Structures are given as C-alpha cells and as structure tokens.
Amino acid sequence: MDVLVTTEWLANELSANDLRIVDASYFLSEHGRDAAAEYEAEHIPGAVFMDLAEIADLSNPLPAMLPAPEKFASRMQSLGLGDGSRIVLYDNSPLHTSARAWWMLRTFGAHDVAILDGGMAKWKAEGRATATGKESLRHRHFTVWADDKGVRTLDQMKANLDSGAEQVVDARSPARFTGEEPDPRPATHAGHIPGSKNLHYSTLFNDDGTWKSKDALKAAFEGAGIDLNQPIVATCGSGITAGVLVFAARLLGNNAALYDGAWSEWGADRTTPKAMGPA
C-alpha cells in the first residue's frame, strides 16, 4: 500500500479484512464545526472516528501534544485498529489533519498507514457511498510502542539553533510567520524560530484538496529555501499542520521530524529567541 492512495483504490479495497478506514477530521474553535457530529452524519463506509482532540496529553497545558504510548495504544484498540491492520486515513478539515494522524500512528509503531488523496470531499464529489452513525469494530491488539526519532522537543530545537544540523520549516501563514499578524494565543510572542523557513501548508494542495504532484511539492520546498537532501524539522502553531509538511517531505523521500510543542511552546517561552519579518 502506498502512503498516498486514491479514492478508486480505496473503493476497490473496502471489503478487505485487514483494511481499517479512519476519519481523522479535527477543527479549531474558530471553525465552528464538530468533527464527531460530522462523522456520525456522514462517513466513508466502515470508517471509525479518531478523536485527535482527545487522543493527546490532556495534562499538558500545550495543545495537541502526543499522548503516552499506553493511551494511544488503548484508543487504537478500542477503534479496532491493531497490529497487522492496513490503515487508511482521511479528513474533511481545512487543516488536512489526516497528516497529523499519519505522523502519530507512525510514531507509535503502525507501519502500514496511508492517507486518502482528496479526503472526504473527493469521495463525495465522485458520488461514492457514505454511511451514518457509528461503526462498531472488534477490539484488536495494538502493541504499545513509541519511536521518538521523528519527534523534536524544546531542548532539541534550542540546541539546533547553535548546531544548524536540521532545517526548520514552519507551516503557518506568512503573516503569522513574519509577526505581521499577532499570535491568537494569550502571552504568546509573534514571529518565528530564528533561521526557520516558511512554507504555508495550504500551498501544497490543489483546488480540489488533492495533494500537488511530486514535482510541484519539490518546487514548493525548494522555493522556501529547503534542501530535501538534508534533515528537516517541521513546526507550526500547535503541531497539527506541521504534519502536512512532514507527510509531503515523506512523499519526496525525506523522513522529516516534527516539533510537537511548536509555536505555542516556543512563542510563549520567555527564554527562547524570536525572529520577526521574512525568513
């Protein structure tokens, strides 16, 4: 299974015993939408709902931080996702949140994980079948495991300021990156991590929500000043849309890491340097 699959491929695989489909839609409060309610109203047949708002470290004041491996494994088991499952993720979010779910699953040991190109919007536009309510799947064993090589912490990001070992690319809008637009979180500085580059996540998609071609993705990274042959760390506001950059880099053969605390941590920390203006 490729890491990016088409709606046609998924339609042909719907009845496969090892296939698990997951709606990983997630919204911010300003979107005024309820991901769980939208899932129950309409989803791809057989899909379960992965609640990214709840599958997080809720004891951490930072938003959307990775949960403990035990919690993640427990939630996956309850969704019927387990060892040996082929997992296809989709979303219906402007944030393209299936990319964050893909990164989480990979971090916690799932190997056969893909994203549905175009998500729910493309599936519906093609007139394909949908289902309502909740799906009930038998619990499956999900081995508790975490591989942190793709995760970056605040201390590691501080150390990278001096070493420059990894290129830092920021998925936020240009106005947020430059500091022209203030951060929406209270007591959080505007601007960006010094030395980082800006590549707004939304520019990596076509108008219909499908991913741009590999050539176009490569051009976008290079246009932002990123060398795809060198290590990359993606960041954003809260670690959600950075997943889009990580997934795009993976499509291009680069195993980028993700700074989970993102700007909500860096921007609020009084000990970190902040840069303003363009990269």
User: What are 29-61's pLDDT values in tens digits?
Assistant: 999 999 999 999 999 999 999 999 999 999 999
Torsion sign across C-alpha atoms 120, 121, 126, 128? positive
Do residue 139 and residue 9 come from a single domain?
yes
Question: What is the distance between the alpha carbons of residues 63 and 67, in angstroms, rounded to a whole number?
Answer: 11
Do residue 122 and residue 180 come from a single domain?
no
- φ/ψ of residue 209, rounded to 5: 90, -5
| CB-CB contact of 98 with 119 (8 Å) | yes
Do residue 119 and residue 253 come from a single domain?
no
- The model's confidence at residue 254, banded by pLDDT at 50, 70 and 90, is very high
Active site residues per annotation: 236
- The model's confidence at residue 154, banded by pLDDT at 50, 70 and 90, is very high
- The model's confidence at residue 152, banded by pLDDT at 50, 70 and 90, is very high
Residue 71 maps to which CATH number? 3.40.250.10
Do residue 15 and residue 46 come from a single domain?
yes
Question: What is the distance between the alpha carbons of residues 153 and 182, in angstroms, rounded to a whole number?
Answer: 24
The average pLDDT across 15-29 equals 96
Do residue 9 and residue 138 come from a single domain?
yes
* β-strands 19-23, 48-49 pairing: parallel
Final residue in a domain of this structure, among 90, 120, 146: 146
Extract the tokens encoding 54.
């709840």
Do residue 119 and residue 51 come from a single domain?
yes
Question: What is the distance between the alpha carbons of residues 130 and 259, in angstroms, rounded to a whole number?
Answer: 35
Alpha helices per DSSP H over 126-213: 154-163, 174-178
The average pLDDT across 134-138 equals 89
DSSP 8-state class, residue 25:
-
Do residue 228 and residue 182 come from a single domain?
yes
Do residue 127 and residue 194 come from a single domain?
no
Final residue in a domain of this structure, among 113, 146, 179: 146
Final residue in a domain of this structure, among 146, 168, 194: 146
The average pLDDT across 235-259 equals 98
The tally of domains found in the chain comes to 2
Half-sphere exposure of 162 (CA within 13 A, CB side): 5
pLDDT in tens, 163-216: 999 999 999 999 999 999 999 888 899 999 999 999 999 999 999 999 999 999
| Percentage of residues in the chain having pLDDT higher than 90 | 96
Domain that holds residue 134: 4-146
The average pLDDT across 62-82 equals 96
